[in-house]
Structure 1
Amino acid sequence: MRIASYNVNGIGARLPRLLEWLEETQTDIVCLQELKAPDERFPEAELKALGYNAVWHGQKSWNGVAILARGLDIHLTRKGLPNDPDDSHSRYIEAAVGGIIVGGLYLPNGNPVPGPKFDYKIAWFEALLDHAKTLFATEQPVVLAGDWNVIPTASKDDVFSASRMADDALMQPESRACFARLNHAGWTDAIRAIHPHGQIYTFWDYTMNAWARDAGFRIDHLMLSPPAADRLVDAGVDRDYRGREKASDHAPTWIKIR
C-alpha cells in the first residue's frame, strides 16, 4: 500500500497536476494540505472519476486538508484537534481507511519569529502531541502525514542552508524540539527510517530560483506508530513533480507499507 502526503498549494490551481500525479502513481491513500478552498469547492467528482473516495475539511482562501483513498472505504473519525488553540483553521483531519488510522495535518508556519503566529504554532503542536499520545495508546497502525513546517535538523541532508534559515520558524529550537518529542515517544520518521543519510528535500520556494538551485528543505513528514513502522518497506519523494509546469512548491512524499 502506497501512502503519501502532498501539499498542493491550492487545489483549484493545481488540480491538473494532482490528477496527473494520481493517475501516474496510483497512490492508495493521500493526505492533502493547503486546499485553499471552502468545502463546496472541493473537486469530489473529478477525484471520484479516478476511483478515489475522499473526506475533507476546507476553508476559504487558506489552509484546508483532505484524505483520499483509492478504491477503499474511508470513515471520517475527526475534523480538528482536541483542544485546538484556534478551531477556525482547517488544519487536521483523521480517518480510518484500509485498516490504518490516518491523520492528515497542516501545521502552522509560525513566521515571523518571535510573535503571536509562532506562539500559535507551538500551541498547535502541543495539542497535536497530546492527541498523538491518544492515538499511540490504541496500539493500532497510525500514520500522521502532512506538511509539518518543521525542518528536523540543521544538516544539509534536511536543509540547503541552516544559516539562511536560522531565523525562520521552521528551524527554531522550539519547533524542532516538538518534532523530536514525537521520535522520543516512539513515532518513526519514515523517510529517515529508510534513508538515514543523504539529502532529501520536499519543498523548494518559488523565489530566488530555488528549484533550479536545489535550495530546498524537508518539511513534509510521515510519522508512524510502531504497528505501522513494523510494516514499512520503502519511502521517498516524487521530486520530479516539483519541476512540472504550474506545480506546487512541495513534492509528494510517500511510504509503502505491507
Structure 2
Amino acid sequence: MKIATWNVNSLKIRLPHVLDWLAAHRPDALCLQELKMEDKAFPLAEIEAAGYHAVFSGQKTYNGVAIISSTPTEDVVRGIPGFEDEQKRIIAATVGGVRVICGYFPNGQAVGSDKFEYKLRWLEALTAWVQAELVRFPELVLTGDFNIAPEDRDAHPDWEHEIHVSVPEREAFRTLTGLGLVDAFRLFEQPERSFSWWDYRMMAFRRNMGLRIDHVLVSPSLQTQCRSCVVDKAPRRLERPSDHAPVVLELSR
C-alpha cells in the first residue's frame, strides 16, 4: 500500500503535475494540501477520469485539503471535531482499512504573533482528537504539511527564522509523537540534508536550502509494515512547480 502527501500550493495550477504523478506512481492514497479553491471548483471529473476517487474540503484562495484514493473512502471527517475553525485544514477518511488524516497545519507567521498562538491552539486540539482516533482506528496515518521541522537536521544550516523550528512548535510535534505515532521517514537511513520544501527565491532548491516540514506519522501497529519512506524531488524540478515535494510511504499490505 502506498500513501503520499503533497502540498501542491494551488491545485488549479498544479493539476497536470498531480495527474501525471498519479499515473506514474499509482498511490492508494494521495493527500493534498493548499488546494486554494472552493469545493465547487475541485477538478473531480479529471480525478475520476484518472481512475481515482476524492474527498475534499476547500475554500477560496487559501488552505484546502483533499484525499485522493484508488478505492472509495469511508467515515469522512472534515475539520477537527469540537474545534471551531473557518480555515479548511483537516480531512480524514478510511482508505483500504487504514485511517488517513490529511492536515495543512498553520504556518504561524512569527513566534509570539496571533497566528502563532492560533497554531499552538490548533495543534493542541488536533492532538486531543488524534488520541481519540487512535482508539477507534489502531491503523492510522497522520500526514500533511506540518509547518514544523522537528529537529535541527530537518532545517538547512542557514535558516534564519525562528518559525518552524521554535521550541513550542517542536514540543507540540513531540507531544503528537508521544501518542505513539512514529515519524516514518526516520525509520530508514536517509541522505543528509533531506528536505521537502524549498523557497522559490535565492535558488533555494538548486542549493538545497530547505526544510523537512512534510511528514508521515504512523501508528505503532503500522510501524512494522513500513517498507520505505522517501521524498520524491522530481516534481520540484518541473516547470511552475509547487515549493513542496511529495513524501511517499510504502506499506507491506
TM above 0.5, yes or no, is yes
Contact 1:154/1:162 (8 A) holds in 2: no
Q: 1:207 aligns with which of 201, 205, 208?
A: 201
Cα offset for 1:197? 6.8
Question: What is the 5 A alignment of 1:4-43?
Answer: 4-43=4-43
The CA deviation at 1:93 is 0.3
Preserved CA contact (<8 Å) 1:39 1:59:
yes
Secondary structure of the residue aligned to 1:104 is strand
CA distance in 1, matches of 2:183, 2:146: 12
Q: TM-score, normalised by structure 2?
A: 0.96
Q: Check conservation: 1:139, 1:227, Cα contact below 8 A.
A: no
Cα deviation, 1:154-202, whole Å, max 9, x if unaligned, reads: 12xx11126523x2x2111000001011222210000001236733100
Asked whether the 8 Å contact 1:57–1:90 carries over to 2, the reply is yes
> Are residues 254 and 181 of structure 1, via their aligned partners in 2, closer, same or farther at CA, if it must alter by over 3 Å?
same
Q: Name the amino acid aligned to 2:15.
A: L
Matching residue of 1:110:
108
1:56 aligned counterpart, secondary structure: strand
Match of 1:230 in 2: 224
Unaligned 5+ runs, structure 2: none
Per-residue CA distance 1:196-244 (angstroms, 9 max, x = gap): 6733100011111111111111000011111122211111011121011
Tell me what 2:155 maps to. Answer: 159
How far apart are the structure 2 equivalents of 1:175 and 1:133? 18
Cα separation, 1, equivalents of 2:189 and 2:121: 30
Secondary structure of the 1:4 match is strand
Superposition pairs for residues 47-58 of structure 1, below 5 Å?
47-58=47-58
**The one of 119, 133, 136 aligned to 1:138:** 136
Match of 2:72 in 1: 73
Q: For residues 119 and 137 of structure 2, what CA distance do their matches in structure 1 show? A: 28
The equivalent residue for 1:45 is 45
Alignment of 1:57-96 (within 5 A): 57-70=57-70, 72-84=71-83, 86-96=84-94
- Once the two structures are TM-superposed, the CA of residue 247 in structure 1 deviates from its matched residue by 0.8
Greater alpha carbon shift after TM alignment, 14-23 vs 195-204: 195-204
1:75-100 superposed Cα distances (whole Å, 9 cap, x missing partner):
2421000232x421000001011011
Report the Cα distance in structure 2 between the residues aligned to 1:111 and 1:143, rounded to whole angstroms: 27
Structure 1 gaps of 5+ residues are none
Q: Identify the residue that residue 173 of structure 2 maps to in structure 1.
A: 179
**Runs of at least 4 residues off by over 4 Å:** none
Distance 2:214 2:251 in 1: 18
**2:187 is matched with which residue: 173, 187, 193?**
193
How far, CA to CA, are the matches of 1:62 and 1:89 in structure 2? 8
Show the counterpart of 1:148. 146
1:21-66: CA deviation from partner (whole Å, max 9, x where unpaired): 1111111101100000000000101010111100000111000000
Superposed CA RMSD: 1.3
